Structure 1
Amino acid sequence: MTETALLVMDVQRSMVSRFGSDPDYLPRLRQAIAHARATDVLVGHVAVGFRPGHPEVSPANATFGRMIGTDAFTPADPGAEIHPDIAPAPGDPVFTKKRVSAFAGTDLDLVLRSSGIRHLVLAGIATSGCVLSTVRQAFDLDYRLTVLSDGCLDADPEVHRVLTTAVFPGQADVVTIADWTS
C-alpha cells in the first residue's frame, strides 16, 4: 500500500440527485477509483450519517438542525446510501461523519495515520462544503493534499471555480481526474 489515500466524500444518493447535473461525474469518479485501486492507493468513502432522531445534531446548527424530526441521513433514509455507481468494495473503509468535514465525528485521522497515509486525494460533494472543510482540516493536520477539480461538484459553478483555482492551490495540488490518472 502506498502512502496515499483517495477519499470519496458525500457521494450519497441524495447528494448526487441534488448536485448531479453533470452526467459524466460518476463515470469520472469510477475512473479515479479504478486508478487508485490499480496503483495500490487506499480508497476510503466518507458519508454523512446520524442515528434515528439525530441526537448528534444541535437545533442551532444551520446545516443539520433542520433535519431533526426527519429520517434524513439516518439508516431509514435510502438517500443516505453511498451511490451504487461508486459503492465501496470489500475492504474499503467507510467513515460516517457528523458534520461537514470528513474528520468531524470520525476516526479518519486515526485510521489514516495508522495505515501510514500521508497524502490525501480528495473528491466529493460539495466543493464549498465537505471538500473545503476537509482541505482546511487536513492541511492543519499536515497531510499532503491533492484535490480532483472535476471530482468535486457544487451548486454554484462560480464558487467551485474560485475554490479550485484561487483558494485550494494555496494548500493543495489541484488537478483533473485525467491528469491524476495519467
Structure 2
Amino acid sequence: MNSANTALLLIDFQRDFCAPGGYADQCAGIEWVRPIIPYAQRALEAARQHGMRIIHTRENYAPDLSDCPATKLRCSERAGARYGSEGPMGRIMIRGEYGNDIIDELAPQPGETVLDKSSYGAFLTTPLDQILKENGITHLALAGVTADVCVHTTLREAADRGYVCYYLKDAISAFDPAVRTACENLVVQEGSVWGVLTEVQDFVSALTENHIEGTHP
C-alpha cells in the first residue's frame, strides 16, 4: 500500500448512527456499532501518522427535506425513526443538526475533507470522484456504517470507477450480524470483485511495510 495514492474513507460515523438517541438507536440500538469505533480510531490514527488523505462523509438532508426522496422517508418511518423527525439531538438526519455531526472519537482535523451527501453512496451527490482524481488517489480504504447500505453502495460505486478498495471489516458494521457477515462475503465473490477483504491491523501494517494482507482482487 502506498500512502500517497491511498485515501481513508470514513463513512457516516455520525451521532445519528453511533450515539444514544439517534436514528440507529431508535431503530435497532447502537450495540452493533460501538465495538467497531476503536478499530476505526486506530485506522484514522495510522492514516494521520502516515500523511494519508482522509475523507469523512455524513448522510444528511435539507431542513425542508427537498433532497430526500419520498421512498427514503417511508423506509425510515418503517424502520422506526422517520428522517426529519425530532430527536434528543435535533431533527434526525438533517444537515446542521447536532446529531448529524461526526462523533467526537473520529472528529475531523483541519485539512481533512468532510463531504455531506444526500445519498447512500458517497459518489452520487458529492465531488468525491473529482477530489480523488485531482489528488492522484487510486486506492480507497473503507470504514463506516452501515455495511449493507452506505458502505456497500460506496464500495460498488468506487469499484465501477476503477478504484482498488480495501474493506476494513472490523471497522464496518450493520444492524444485523448476519447481514454484516454477508456483506463481508460479498466482497470476495467472483474473484474478489469488490476489492480486498482485510482488517485494520493489516491496514496499519501495510502503511509501513508497503503491502497488505487479505483477499485480493
Q: Same fold by TM-score, threshold 0.5 exceeded?
A: yes
Corresponding residue of 1:35: 46
Aligned to 2:66, the other structure's residue is in SS state coil
Aligned to 1:5, the other structure's residue is in SS state strand
Corresponding residue of 1:161: 181
2:100 maps to 1:80: yes
Quote the Cα distance in structure 2 between the aligned partners of 1:34 and 1:68: 33
Corresponding residue of 2:30: 20
Quote the Cα distance in structure 1 between the aligned partners of 2:112 and 2:30: 24
Quote the Cα distance in structure 2 between the aligned partners of 1:45 and 1:34: 14
Q: Map 1:29-108 onto structure 2 (within 5 A).
A: 29-61=40-72, 62-63=74-75, 66-68=82-84, 71-75=91-95, 77-108=97-128
Q: What is the one-letter code of the residue matched to 1:42?
A: R
Quote the Cα distance in structure 2 between the aligned partners of 1:15 and 1:162: 20
Provide the TM-score with structure 1 as the length reference.
0.91
Quote the Cα distance in structure 1 between the aligned partners of 2:157 and 2:177: 23
Provide the TM-score with structure 2 as the length reference.
0.77
Structure 1 residues 63 and 88: alpha-carbon distance in aligned structure 2, compared to 1, 3 A threshold: farther
Q: Map 1:100-179 onto structure 2 (within 5 A).
A: 100-164=120-184, 166-169=185-188, 170=192, 171-179=194-202
Measure how far apart 1:68 and its partner are: 4.9
Q: What is the one-letter code of the residue matched to 1:72?
A: I
Q: What is the one-letter code of the residue matched to 1:175?
A: T
Q: What is the one-letter code of the residue matched to 1:9?
A: I
Name structure 1 gaps, 5 residues minimum: none
Q: Is the 8 A contact 2:83 2:94 kept in 1?
A: no
Name structure 2 gaps, 5 residues minimum: 206-217
Q: Is the 8 A contact 1:32 1:181 kept in 2?
A: yes
**Higher radius of gyration, 1 or 2:** 2
Structure 1 residues 68 and 12: alpha-carbon distance in aligned structure 2, compared to 1, 3 A threshold: closer
Measure how far apart 1:54 and its partner are: 1.2
Worse-superposed segment, 71-80 or 128-137:
71-80
